[in-house]
């Protein structure tokens, strides 16, 4: 599949904290404070607990509004679900906890803005590697070496490459008798712009679950194109319910916070599954998968960021997707997207297929696209959004793999 690499950032933080414990920097009785109110600070608390240290005093933040909001949310939680508010880990602003100077504190930092945080703490009199420590160096030297000398792709080059992948996928599916349709923002762009949404930079398609599985059974590496992701191989190292058709001539850096991936540029491929007919049953079905996804990520953190967790859960995910046959169901949809239950329509949406232009190629569009797009984007999906909302939701760094 060309250049592919995945790195657990939570695993990197866990290694850093274990090193501090092994070196005796953190010991029983240490007055440990965690800098930040984000996924990395929360991960540090979980990792410390996993490694047997339970003496975290609280979280620090230089954002007073955030400290107030989190404190209020925690107290609301405690009055509902805890016997005593004292069981909560405290949240402090820097001034509340670090002024006046407290030489006995030990502050752990896991931040991509470490230089800024270091300057803030040093300005208050605290010294690096005495009073505060970095739990993770987010600089990725291996990735820097990989990308050294490679030319970054322009947005037009990214779109042209993605369109080439889509054209290949379209030919492959039609030759093999597999059903597929463009979906999400790609379907919206096809209807509203006859191509890409001008400020968007990705392409999404979906296949009925049985066609999705058949796609990967039939697919063989084809020149510059390959596949990766859910269903593309027996081993899964990422929990998302989607796969990718990729162009091996390219390299893309993806950082979603918990993991960092380096892989070729892609078109996303989603499984479209059958859903229960009754509204309440559909609601419970979506909630059931959300709970499974929560358990996957809980185990990921409990194992200090082990990527093996995702392969372990893949069979359960496949079983869940197979519970309702697409062709026998009155409703169909996609699990695991940001749209939740909005990503469900009557299956009649897909009874017929239209061929419509996307830029200078033709693609498959479900004949009932109005119901689908109304669900996701509202009745005014054909109108342009305000200028301030015309921006991509991705932060893609793509390079030619030359």
Region 289-295 average pLDDT: 97
Q: Which two tokens stand for residue 341?
A: 């239950």
- Cα 359 off chain centre by: 28
* Distance (Å, whole) CA 355 – CA 361: 10
* Distance (Å, whole) CA 198 – CA 105: 51
Q: Which two tokens stand for residue 302?
A: 């409990």
- Give tens-digit pLDDT for 309-345: 999 999 999 999 999 999 999 999 999 999 999 999 9
Q: Which two tokens stand for residue 340?
A: 């939740």
Residue 42 half-sphere exposure, CB side, CA atoms within 13 Å? 9
- Cα 348 off chain centre by: 30
* Distance (Å, whole) CA 354 – CA 366: 6
- Give tens-digit pLDDT for 120-131: 999 999 999 999
> If we measure between CA atoms, which residue out of 203, 224, 228, 218 comes closest to residue 361?
203
- pLDDT band for position 31 (cuts 50, 70, 90): very high
Report cis status (omega within 30 of 0) of the bond before 100.
yes
pLDDT over 90 at 390, yes or no = no
For the chain, the straight-line distance linking the first and the last C-alpha, in angstroms and rounded, comes to 15
- Give tens-digit pLDDT for 194-232: 999 999 889 999 999 999 999 999 998 778 999 999 999
């Amino acid at each position: 599949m060309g250049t592919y690499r995945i790195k657990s950032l939570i695993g990197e933080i866990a290694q850093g904290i274990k090193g501090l414990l092994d070196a005796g920097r953190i010991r029983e009785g240490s007055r440990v404070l965690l800098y930040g109110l984000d996924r990395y600070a929360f991960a540090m608390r979980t990792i410390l607990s996993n490694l047997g240290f339970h003496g975290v005093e609280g979280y620090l933040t230089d954002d007073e509004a955030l400290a107030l909001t989190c404190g209020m949310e925690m107290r609301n939680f405690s009055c509902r679900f805890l016997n005593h508010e004292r069981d909560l880990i405290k949240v402090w602003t820097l001034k509340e906890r670090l002024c006046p100077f407290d030489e006995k504190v030990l502050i752990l930092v896991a931040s991509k803005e470490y230089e800024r945080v270091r300057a803030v703490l040093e300005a208050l009199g605290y010294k690096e590697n005495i009073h505060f420590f970095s739990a993770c160096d987010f600089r990725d030297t291996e990735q820097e070496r990989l990308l050294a000398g490679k030319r970054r792709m322009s947005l037009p080059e990214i779109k042209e490459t993605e369109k080439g992948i889509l054209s290949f996928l379209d030919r492959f599916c039609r030759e093999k008798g597999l059903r597929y349709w463009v979906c999400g923002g790609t379907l919206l762009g096809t209807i509203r712009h006859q191509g890409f949404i001008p400020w968007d930079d990705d392409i999404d398609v979906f296949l009925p679950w049985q066609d999705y599985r058949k796609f990967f059974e039939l697919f063989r590496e084809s020149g510059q194109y390959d596949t990766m992701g859910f269903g593309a191989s027996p081993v899964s190292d990422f929990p998302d319910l989607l796969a990718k058709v990729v162009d091996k001539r390219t390299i893309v850096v993806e950082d979603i916070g918990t993991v960092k991936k380096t892989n070729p540029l892609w078109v996303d491929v989603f499984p479209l599954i059958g859903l229960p007919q009754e509204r309440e049953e559909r609601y419970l079905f979506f909630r059931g998968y959300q709970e499974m996804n929560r358990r996957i990520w809980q185990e990921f953190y409990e194992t200090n960021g082990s990527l093996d967790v995702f392969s372990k859960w893949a069979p359960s995910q496949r079983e869940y997707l197979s519970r309702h046959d697409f062709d026998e169901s009155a409703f169909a949809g996609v699990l695991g997207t940001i749209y939740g239950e909005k990503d469900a329509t009557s299956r009649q949406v897909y009874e017929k297929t239209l061929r419509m232009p996307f830029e200078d190629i033709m693609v498959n569009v479900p004949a009932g696209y109005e119901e689908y797009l109304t669900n996701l984007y509202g009745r005014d999906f054909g109108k342009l959004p305000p200028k301030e909302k015309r921006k991509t939701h991705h932060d893609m760094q793509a390079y030619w793999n030359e």
